Amino acid sequence: MDFSVIIINYKQKDFILNCVESIKENLKCSFEIIIVNNSPEDDLSTLKGVTIINNLNKGFSQANNLAANHAQGNYLLFLNSDTVLKKDFSQGFLTDFKDKEFGAAGLGLVYPDGRYQLSYWNENKFFNEIKNKKIEKEFKNKYQVVTKEYNDIIKEVDWVSGAALIMKKDIFEGIKGFDEDYFLFYEDADLCKRLKLKGDNIYFYPFDGLIHYKGENVNKTFLTDTYYYSKKSQLLYYKKHNSLYERTLLRIYLLLKFTFRAMTERKDINMKVLKLLFGAEK
């Protein structure tokens, strides 16, 4: 079997139904679909020909690792539930990567209106993250200018988005999968960092046939609970992989940012992040 497509569901039933249907219609290789249902209240029984694993929500990393343990494919495709495949990528990918040694590869992504979506970044260091945000903004505002530079060829990059990430199963097992210390966010960056530390290359694979609705646009909790996890995981990543200097810069920046927000906005998320910075939130 060529691919095991792994999808995690957490209260996105409508998206996942569309995602699965699009895979069945467009993927032109041998494959299986494995869904880990982290919100068992969502009834996914209407999905046929799909392996469904009901699971207590212990985070995105844990769910992906659970699915990978059941996978039979040579390649694992970790795919976000809020994606829709519009055409096949597999034939080109299997040809291009047949003899290529690599740790992970990320597929190109597009927004629903056809604009390219940035799906790979510079390594997560403090000033690189500022650069990454600038590039992402350019993609949103000047995509016709920047896409030729960023989306035209297979290229080696620092890390790729977990929204559509491909690995050989044996490579994934060899690195012991996603780090389950990450509940949500930065698990993809961490995985790529660990691969690069052991000498494996990370590649971007250009593709314009995968729509990604992107979590912050469809998840009503992104500016509350989900955003909190993004900051918690960012701090964890810096602790695991970055210098004391980098960690200090990040904490000073976040402290100033969320202190100002707490003074000007009456939102619980600001105090939660401040408590996290001072070690009062676990």
Q: What is the pLDDT of residues 169-211, one digit of tens each?
A: 999 999 999 999 999 999 999 999 999 999 999 999 999 999 9
- Predicted pLDDT at 147: 64
Q: CA end-to-end span of the chain, whole Å? A: 41
Of the residues 214, 238, 261, which one is the last residue of a structural domain? 214
Domain final residue pick, 214, 238, 258: 214
Would the pTM of this model clear 0.75, i.e. be above it?
A: yes
Let me know whether 36 and 147 are in one domain. Answer: yes
Flag whether 177 is in a domain.
yes
How many domains in the chain? 2
**Are 47 and 66 contained in the same domain?**
yes
| Mean pLDDT score across all residues of the chain | 92
Decide if 69 is inside a domain. Answer: yes
Considering the domain architecture, whether residues 160 and 230 belong to the same structural domain is answered as no
How much is the average pLDDT of 90-111? Answer: 95
**Do residues 153 and 264 both lie within one domain?**
no
Q: In this structure, are 158 and 27 located in the same domain?
A: yes
| Residue 235 in tokens | 């701090």
Q: Which two tokens stand for residue 70?
A: 């059941």
Answer whether residue 9 is part of any domain. yes
On whether both 176 and 39 belong to a single domain, the answer is: yes
pLDDT of residue 169: 98
- What lies within 8 Å, CB to CB, of 158 at 6+ separation is 120, 121, 122, 123, 192, 196, 202
Beta bridge partners of 35: 7, 52
Task: State whether 230 and 207 are in the same domain.
Answer: no
Cβ atoms of 167 and 106 closer than 8 Å:
no
- The answer as to whether 132 is a domain residue is yes
Q: In terms of domains, do 14 and 47 share one?
A: yes
Is the predicted pLDDT of residue 142 greater than 80, yes or no? no
* CA–CA separation, 82 and 18 (whole Å): 8
Q: What is the CATH number of the domain that holds 8?
A: 3.90.550.10
User: Quick one: pLDDT at residue 246?
Assistant: 97
Q: Of 175, 197, 214, which closes a domain?
A: 214
Q: Is the pLDDT assigned to residue 54 strictly greater than 70?
A: yes
- Rounded to 10 deg, the angle between the 143-151 and 126-141 helix axes is 120
Q: Are 48 and 175 in contact (CB under 8 A)?
A: no
Alpha-carbon gap, residue 65 to 62, rounded angstroms: 5
Q: Single out the residue of 158, 162, 163 nearest to residue 123, CA to CA.
A: 158
Q: Is 229 found in the same domain as 192?
A: no
Both 210 and 237 in one domain: the answer is: no
Co-location of 168 and 129 in the same domain: yes
Confidence band for 146, pLDDT divided at 50, 70 and 90 = low
- Residue 95: pLDDT band by 50, 70, 90 thresholds? very high
**Residue 282 forms part of a structural domain:** no
Same domain, 199 and 83: yes
Range of the domain at 152: 3-214
